[in-house]
Chain A
Amino acid sequence: MSTGQIHDLGYKRYVGSRRSVGTRWRVIMRHQIATAWRGWWRFKMWLVAALITTASIGAVLYFMHDRVLKVLGGVGGQAVVKFADGLVPFSTVFYCKVGFAVSLTVSATLVASDLQSGAFTFYFARSARPVDYILGKLAGLAVLMAVIMAVGPLLLAGVRLGLADDLDQLITLLPMLGKELAVGVVGTLIYAVVPLGFSALTDNKRHALALWAAYYIVVGSMAGGVAYATTPAVAAIDLPACLHTISLHLYDQRFGGARSPDIPTAAALISVFGHVAAAIAVVFWRVRRAQQTGVGGAS
């Protein structure tokens, strides 16, 4: 017979109630946030980068708010914009860089990593459904990304409100909070959902990471170049340029730049929501497939 000794701490049947299936996504969301928070390099490092970005821009905004913001190239003939009015919408450029870094460490490998490790068998042998997995992961990533893409710009908007000359100007500037919130939501969607879609394209996390980085950096830059030769709408493939366009549109400003010709706002919005919809569709397809093949081996 066995040489092993059985340890039992006093087994008791579970007689309490179980939480409804509809709450599983919250467990997955919590786990996603906790996983990203663990360790220094996944999220904390980039959170510090976002804080430094916010503090730096906030300081510039505070000390230089009355000066004229020099626009790169002066494209569009609207070069005379004060720092106080131009810096907050322009700040998306910096947050996009941090958002991209977080997408690489947190979201771009997520589904591929779970496929590689057999995690779907773990999830779907339980009462979690594909929709719970997707909702939980998206919600977790959205919370993390919103801290980068929405909280920082909102703080900057707060600084700008604090610099208002009088109550009337403060009231005039109040919609800025809504605009920054909108930009934050769009930025969160871009950097939480789209890389998640890329992570579902392959079952190898390194490949997924490379695909997302290549699409973001190479394809985005190429689209900007092609847009100059053809039509500006082509540049809408470049997601940070889209966010920048939307942000400037909300403030009725146009900056342009080497990498972002004047993308029509409608094209930018269609591109962002098209990317997001495609990403969710790919993730759902992959997760649904994993649910059916993952448990009990493949037949």
Chain B
Amino acid sequence: MTALIELASLTKRYGAITALDGVTAAFDGKIIGLLGPNGAGKSTLLKCLLGLLPYHGHARVLGLEAAADGAEIRDRVGYMPEQEAFLSGMSAVELCTYAGELSGLPRTEAMQRAHAALYYAGLEEKRYQPIDGYSTGMKQRVKLAQALVHDPEILFLDEPTNGLDPQSREEMLHLIVDLPERRGCAIVLSTHLLPDVDRVCDRAVIMHRGAVRFAGTIDELRGARGRDSELFVSVKADAARLAEVLTAAGATCTVSSPIALQVDLPAGATSQLVFATARAHGLQIRELGVRRESVEAAFLRVLGDDGARHSDAPYRTAPGAGGRR
């Protein structure tokens, strides 16, 4: 079966700068998070996939080679840009109708779908007003609607929750989750907000320095640290004592407070080891759970040494965001 996006030895150079360095990967899934620091090659990859830049190697979208079939790909892909991309003086309905026509839809069909897409995006009666007077949240909705209007099979969303207040962000994420279910389109979500990825994506692609450092499911991204063998344990008292006896049993423990510790079980062991050891030494377990690494932590781990440098600036926790744990 053909993957949504297939890259084979994809290379793109701007003079002496290599933006994409022989990338070979295949992406599939419902909602794919495209992550990477600034300059990682995400934008160049998007441009290559849309057939806007010449490149060496192969970049296929929906089985079509981007260099040769760029126009057809753009008819079948929707793109929601990060920056404003409106035509001044137009209402949302006019803009979306125009977008539909530019994607090859007949005018009547484009107009009908423009109304439906704007209604879906939550603009309702305001769709008749000029976009120039819209709030940031409304503009984001228009951008989503214009990307949807021509019935795309894949949606590229570039920072769709940027600049949104917590409620608008929630609503946008709700729409993003709903889209694949209702419309059957896949989503490539390029964002700096890792909690958004954690929340809505089923797969992630991490790019760095023109290469794909990781491509897989979110659970795979969490990798070894997401295994059931990594636990957090709360005790009634004396976490240090429990750590000591568990270490003697082969586990690796980190005491995080007098009543809490993190436990990496030895190979083949289960949580029963913790219960049995605690019982044997008269210690009472209050809480035990599988320790899940956040996407932020996993992302920084994938970036390796460079991750520390990127840990504070571009990747951040969104206001009011609570990542999946």
A residues engaging B (CB < 8 A)? 1-11, 13-14, 16, 18-21, 23-24, 27-28, 31, 35, 38, 113-114, 117-129, 291-292, 294-299
A7 & B43 in contact (Cβ 8 Å cutoff): no
B75 & A125 in contact (Cβ 8 Å cutoff): no
Query: Bound complex: CA of A128 vs CA of B102, how far in Å?
Result: 6
Q: Which chain A residue shows the least CB distance to B90?
A: A35
Query: Bound complex: CA of A291 vs CA of B51, how far in Å?
Result: 10
- Given known A-B contacts A9-B119, A117-B88, A295-B81, A2 and B105 have beta carbons under 8 A apart: no
B79 & A295 in contact (Cβ 8 Å cutoff): yes
A14 & B151 in contact (Cβ 8 Å cutoff): yes
A297 & B50 in contact (Cβ 8 Å cutoff): no
Encode B143-169 as 1/0 by CB contact (under 8 A) with A. 000110011000010100000000100
Chain A to chain B: the 3 pairs with minimum beta-carbon distance, closest first: A18-B104, A2-B174, A4-B171
Query: Bound complex: CA of A296 vs CA of B44, how far in Å?
Result: 7
B154 to chain A, nearest CB (A): 12
The interface residues of chain A lying within 8 Å CB-to-CB of B14 are 299
B182 & A8 in contact (Cβ 8 Å cutoff): yes
The interface residues of chain B lying within 8 Å CB-to-CB of A128 are 102
B47 & A296 in contact (Cβ 8 Å cutoff): yes
The interface residues of chain A lying within 8 Å CB-to-CB of B21 are none
The interface residues of chain A lying within 8 Å CB-to-CB of B321 are none
B109 & A299 in contact (Cβ 8 Å cutoff): no
Residue B52 interfacial (CB < 8 Å):
yes
Residue B8 interfacial (CB < 8 Å):
no
A125 & B106 in contact (Cβ 8 Å cutoff): no
| Option from B72, B113, B115, B158 in Cβ contact (under 8 Å) with A297 | B158
B residues engaging A (CB < 8 A)? 14, 19, 39, 41-44, 46-47, 50, 52-53, 70-72, 74-75, 79, 81-89, 95, 98-99, 101-106, 109, 113, 115-116, 119-120, 122, 124, 146-147, 150-151, 156, 158, 167, 170-171, 173-175, 178, 182-184
- Given known A-B contacts A3-B167, A295-B52, A297-B43, A127 and B88 have beta carbons under 8 A apart: no
The interface residues of chain A lying within 8 Å CB-to-CB of B151 are 13-14
A21 & B71 in contact (Cβ 8 Å cutoff): yes
Query: Bound complex: CA of A3 vs CA of B168, how far in Å?
Result: 9
- Given known A-B contacts A20-B104, A118-B81, A297-B83, A8 and B170 have beta carbons under 8 A apart: no
Query: Bound complex: CA of A35 vs CA of B88, how far in Å?
Result: 10
A6 & B120 in contact (Cβ 8 Å cutoff): yes
- Given known A-B contacts A14-B109, A18-B104, A299-B19, A122 and B178 have beta carbons under 8 A apart: no
B325 to chain A, nearest CB (A): 16
The interface residues of chain B lying within 8 Å CB-to-CB of A11 are 116, 120, 182-183
- Given known A-B contacts A119-B86, A126-B74, A127-B75, A296 and B43 have beta carbons under 8 A apart: yes
Query: Bound complex: CA of A13 vs CA of B50, how far in Å?
Result: 22
| Option from A119, A124, A296 in Cβ contact (under 8 Å) with B42 | A296
Chain B interface main SS type: helix
A106 to chain B, nearest CB (A): 13
The interface residues of chain A lying within 8 Å CB-to-CB of B88 are 113, 117
B44 & A126 in contact (Cβ 8 Å cutoff): no
A126 & B84 in contact (Cβ 8 Å cutoff): no
Q: Which chain B residue shows the least CB distance to A22?
A: B71
B98 & A295 in contact (Cβ 8 Å cutoff): no
Query: Bound complex: CA of A296 vs CA of B89, how far in Å?
Result: 24
Query: Bound complex: CA of A294 vs CA of B19, how far in Å?
Result: 17
| Option from A8, A16, A123, A291 in Cβ contact (under 8 Å) with B102 | A123
The interface residues of chain A lying within 8 Å CB-to-CB of B71 are 21, 127, 129
The interface residues of chain B lying within 8 Å CB-to-CB of A294 are 85
The interface residues of chain B lying within 8 Å CB-to-CB of A113 are 88
A14 & B178 in contact (Cβ 8 Å cutoff): no
- Given known A-B contacts A4-B122, A122-B87, A21 and B46 have beta carbons under 8 A apart: no
The interface residues of chain B lying within 8 Å CB-to-CB of A19 are 104-106
16 pairs from A and B in contact (CB 8 Å cutoff): A2-B170, A2-B173, A9-B119, A14-B113, A14-B150, A18-B105, A19-B106, A117-B84, A117-B86, A118-B81, A127-B72, A292-B47, A295-B81, A296-B158, A297-B158, A299-B44
Query: Bound complex: CA of A117 vs CA of B99, how far in Å?
Result: 15
The interface residues of chain B lying within 8 Å CB-to-CB of A18 are 75, 103-105
Query: Bound complex: CA of A295 vs CA of B43, how far in Å?
Result: 8
B124 & A124 in contact (Cβ 8 Å cutoff): no
The interface residues of chain A lying within 8 Å CB-to-CB of B79 are 125, 295-296
A193 to chain B, nearest CB (A): 21
The interface residues of chain B lying within 8 Å CB-to-CB of A129 are 71
Q: Which chain A residue shows the least CB distance to B116?
A: A9
The interface residues of chain B lying within 8 Å CB-to-CB of A296 are 42-44, 46-47, 50, 79, 81, 156, 158
A14 & B81 in contact (Cβ 8 Å cutoff): no
A16 & B106 in contact (Cβ 8 Å cutoff): yes
- Given known A-B contacts A11-B116, A126-B75, A296-B47, A27 and B83 have beta carbons under 8 A apart: no
Q: Which chain A residue shows the least CB distance to B102?
A: A126
A112 to chain B, nearest CB (A): 12
Q: Which chain B residue shows the least CB distance to A9?
A: B116
B52 & A124 in contact (Cβ 8 Å cutoff): yes
* Given A3-B170, A6-B122, A297-B83, 5 new contacts (CB under 8 A): A3-B167, A4-B175, A31-B98, A299-B41, A299-B47
B316 to chain A, nearest CB (A): 18
